[in-house]
Amino acid sequence: MATVQVKNLIKKFDQNIAINNTSLDIEDGMFMVFLGPSGCGKTTTLRCIAGLELPDSGQILIDGEDVTNLPPSARDIAMVFQQYAIYPHMTVGENLAFPLKAVRTPKEVIVQRVNEAAKKLHIEKLLGRKPGKLSGGEMQRVAIGRAIVRRPKVFLMDEPLSNLDAKLRTEMRAEIKRLQKDLNVTTIYVTHDQLEAMSMADRIAIMYGGSLQQNGTPSDVYDRPANLFVAGFIGSPAMNFIPCRISDDRTTLVFSESSRMTIQPAAKTRFANVPTGRDLILGVRPEDISLRKDHQAEYEESEVYVVEPLGAENIVDLRYVGSALKVRTLPTFSANIGEILYMRIDQSRSHLFDSESTLALTG
C-alpha cells in the first residue's frame, strides 16, 4: 500500500506537449481513474508513474520517496495493459507464478500466492490450461492475477477491458472494483470510457489536451463540473448547452431578443454571483428537465424532434430557442415528431459557464 504524488509533471514529444504541468495526490488504497479522450495524455502520465517514460520536468513520489529517475523494477508497481502479454507456452499456473519466480520467491510461497490469486479471480479450474484455450475474459483475469501475486505497492492499469465485448466489460468492471477494495492496493486505471470511470473510481482525474481539467469524486465531476469540457464529457446523454445571458435586473435568462426564461426563486442564490451582460452557457442534465402535454407556469413551449425509446427510459429530443435538448423521461412517456410539449428546466440543478473562459460560474 502506498501514496502516489505527481508534482508539476511536464512531458513533451518534440514540440507536442503530452503532459502540461500536472499535479495529483493519490491517497493510500485509492482507486484513481485517469479519464479523457484519445491523445489527452493519460497513458503518458501513467507511463511516467511506471518509470517507462522519463518526464522533462516534475517529480513522481511513491510513499513519499522520489522515484522519478528510478527504473520500473525499483518502484514496486505492477501493470496490466490492454494487450495481456501472457506467455502462450506456459500454463495459467506457470504464468501466474512467473513474476514470483523471477524474484526467486520460495516455492511454497509461490504455490500459496498463485492459489490465492486464482481463487480471488475464480480461475482455479484453469490453472493447468494453456492461454490458447482461454476466452478473452479469462485471459484478462490471468493478466490481473499476474499483477496481484506480487503484492505490489501500486497497480497501474491501462485500458485493461478494451478488448472485451460490452457485456463482459460490465462484468469485469464490477469484479475489478471489488478486487481492488478487497486488496486495498492503491490503483491507477486509465480509460476513455466515462461510464467505466464513474462506476469504478473513488476519484477521477479528467484530462484534455495534456492538461488536468478536474480531479474529484464521481459525484463532484457529475454534479459540479469545473468547466464546459468536463460537463460535456461526463454523462450520457450529455449535458444540454444553451447560450444565454442574465438580464441586468437579474430576473431573467435571456436567450435572444424574443426568448427569455424567468429565473426561478430556487435558483436565485445559485446564480447570484454570475455577472450580468456576459456571454454564458446554460448547462442542463437530461434528467433535470420535466415535460408536460399541457401548459403550466414555469413551463416553456418546445417542439419534439424525435423520441428515442431505450427500454428503461425514453430520450425525448426537443428543439427550444434554436438549441437541441435531450430529456430523460419514463419509458411510458410517449410523444410524436413535431408535437408541441411544455418543458421546465430545474434551474436549481443547472449550471452556468462563462462562454469565453469555459469555467463554471455556479458552484
DSSP 158: E
| Spatial separation of the C-alpha atoms in residues 26 and 4, rounded to whole Å | 5
Residue number with the shortest CB distance to ligand ATP? 43
Report, in Å, the least distance between residue 208 CB and ligand ATP: 9
Looking at beta carbons only, is 29 or 37 nearer to ligand ATP? 37
| Spatial separation of the C-alpha atoms in residues 38 and 43, rounded to whole Å | 9
Report, in Å, the least distance between residue 39 CB and ligand ATP: 4
Residue 352 bridge partners (DSSP): 282
User: Angle CA(117)–CA(196)–CA(99) in degrees, nearest 5?
Assistant: 25
Q: Is 99 in the site for ligand ATP (CB under 6 A)?
A: no
Tell me if 149 sits within 8 A of 105, measured CB to CB.
Answer: no
Report, in Å, the least distance between residue 205 CB and ligand ATP: 12
Residues 178-237 that bind ligand ATP (CB under 6 A): 192
Looking at beta carbons only, is 41 or 145 nearer to ligand ATP? 41
Looking at beta carbons only, is 43 or 140 nearer to ligand ATP? 43
Report, in Å, the least distance between residue 285 CB and ligand ATP: 26
Looking at beta carbons only, is 85 or 310 nearer to ligand ATP? 85
Q: What are the φ/ψ torsions at residue 109 (nearest 5 degrees)?
A: -65, -40
The grid cell for 65 is 520517496
CA dihedral of 288, 201, 360, 316, whole degrees rounded to 10: -30
Residues 296-355 that bind ligand ATP (CB under 6 A): none
Looking at beta carbons only, is 20 or 259 nearer to ligand ATP? 20
Number of residues interacting with ligand ATP: please give it, by CB under 6 A: 12
Residues 2-31 that bind ligand ATP (CB under 6 A): 13, 16, 18
- Residue environment code for 25-47, b if the CB has 16+ CB neighbours within 10 A, otherwise e: ebeebbbbbbbbeeebbbbbbbb
- The DSSP secondary structure of 277-320, one letter per residue, reads TS-EEEEE-GGGEEEESS--TT-EEEEEEEEEE-SS-EEEEEEE
Looking at beta carbons only, is 55 or 99 nearer to ligand ATP? 55
What is the pattern of x (binds ligand ATP, CB under 6 A) and - over residues 32-71? ----x-xxxxxxx---------------------------
**Chain residues in the site for ligand ATP (CB under 6 A):** 13, 16, 18, 36, 38-44, 192
